[in-house]
Structures are given as C-alpha cells and as structure tokens.
Amino acid sequence: MAARALPEVNIDDKVFTLKYYVDEQKSHLSLRDPGLCLKCAQKPCLSFCPVGVYRLDAQGQVVVGYQACVECGSCRVACPLHNIKWDYPRGGYGVAYKFG
C-alpha cells in the first residue's frame, strides 16, 4: 500500500482561522528591557515567532505586536537574553483556536 502525501499546510491559512480577543488594558507579552535587545546581535525573535509578533522599528528597536500572538510560548524559551515577559492572557482574552 502506497503512502499518500499530506496536503501542504500554509501557516497564513491557519492563522486566518483564529479569533483574537485582544486585551487593550493589559498586554500578556512584552520586553523586560527594550534596550537589552539592542545588545543582541542575532535577534532570533525576528524569525522564531510563527506569526511575526516581533519586528524592528525604524530605529532598529525590537517591537512587540502582542495582539497577533498565538500563545505558542516559543518566545519564552528562545530568547537568548531571557528578555521576553510572557504571561497567560487574562480570562476572556487571547487567541481562540476553535474557529478553524
């Protein structure tokens, strides 16, 4: 019996199915010390986040777009300087996966 190939999965198609309940009062994701990111040569946060929450601004500073966070937790373990503060969103907020 020949194995069937799995269909190719596009992350953008999957992210499109999510529903976000953004807490505008309290961010669940932030940088402990934004200045510390300037000392990080590799800046792996710009590539390890599957939805691109981390970006560089015009001054070369890392900024966090927590509103798009899928709460995978990879940023908690992958930052070499342990500069990312991540908490679970408050009740009623965050990402909902049941819409896809």
Domain with 64 in it: 26-96
Q: Is residue 17 part of a domain?
A: no
Computed over every residue of the chain, the mean pLDDT equals: 87
Q: Is residue 1 part of a domain?
A: no
Alpha-carbon span 43 to 97, nearest angstrom: 28
Instruction: Please report, for the domain that includes residue 32, its CATH number.
Output: 3.30.70.20
Number of domains in the chain: 1
Alpha helices in the chain (DSSP H): 11-16, 45-48, 74-78
What predicted TM-score, i.e. pTM, was given to this entire model?
0.77
The pLDDT, as a whole number, for residue 8 is: 75
DSSP notation for 25-85: S--SEEES-GGGGGG-SS-THHHH-TT--EEE-TTS-EEE-GGG-----HHHHH-TT--EE
Q: Is residue 12 part of a domain?
A: no
Residues 21-44: tens digit of each pLDDT: 899 999 999 999 999 999 999 999
Residues 38-58: tens digit of each pLDDT: 999 999 999 989 889 999 999
Q: Is residue 9 part of a domain?
A: no
Supply the Cα-derived Rg of the chain in whole angstroms: 16
